[in-house]
Amino acid sequence: MTLRVIGAGVGRTGTTSLKAALETLLGGRCYHMFEIRDRPDDVPVWHRALQGEMPDWASFLGEFSAAVDWPASAFWPELAAAFPAAVVVLSSRDAEAWWRSASKTIIPASFNAPAGPWREMVFEMFARRFTPAIDDHDAAIAAFEAHNARVRASELGPRLIEWNAADGWAPLCAALGLAVPDTPFPHDNTTAEFLERVPRAAAAPDA
């Protein structure tokens, strides 16, 4: 199997909904940060990649037809090069809306995660490929906008599509040459759903 879609958008830009949609469209699994819960051996692979030691992407992600969300989205240039036929989807939203969501979910969840390899990998990812000041409003907003600007400035041509969760099926299906499913577009992992699943995210950062 080879990646047909690479998600370049960061977490909290509809990536869980995008994962569900792509699994429906492609009939295969979509890699997402959630996958790492059941794949702890992936953590050191990502950690080494952050230090410049890239895996054999085709082998590492060989079980998947798409990859979205962090940490894959932090490596969108490498993945786009490794899978030259893949569509690259920049999932995005208003920067302030992104911050309001991220600051209530993934940011405190990262700070409050147990010490260990996953937490270390996530914070190295933020520091090296986003911002080391992930919990600072201005720094995070600037990093979010800079990330999106880099993707838009890439030379991907028609491979790149911008997508907002409100866009639903149509842009994805058009890019992939597939018919629009006769089912509602999935809308998963709202802030409330995230906090129910990861209650420690509701606590203030402890580091």
Beta-carbon neighbour count of residue 190 at 10 Å? 13
Identify the segments of the chain with pLDDT beneath 70.
188-207
Q: What is the pLDDT of residue 1?
A: 80
Q: What is the pLDDT of residue 21?
A: 97
Helical packing angle, 169-176 and 15-26, nearest 10°:
40
pTM reported for the whole predicted model: 0.90
- Could you tell me which of 147, 166, 152, 32 has the C-alpha nearest to residue 95? 147
Q: What is the pLDDT of residue 37?
A: 86
Q: What is the pLDDT of residue 206?
A: 32
Question: Which domains are assigned to the chain?
Answer: 5-202 (3.40.50.300)
Q: What is the pLDDT of residue 187?
A: 86
Return the DSSP state at 112: T
- Report how far residue 33's alpha carbon sits from residue 35's, in angstroms, rounded to the nearest whole number: 5
Q: What is the pLDDT of residue 203?
A: 37
Q: What is the pLDDT of residue 64?
A: 98
CA atoms lying within 13 Å on the CB side of residue 159: 22
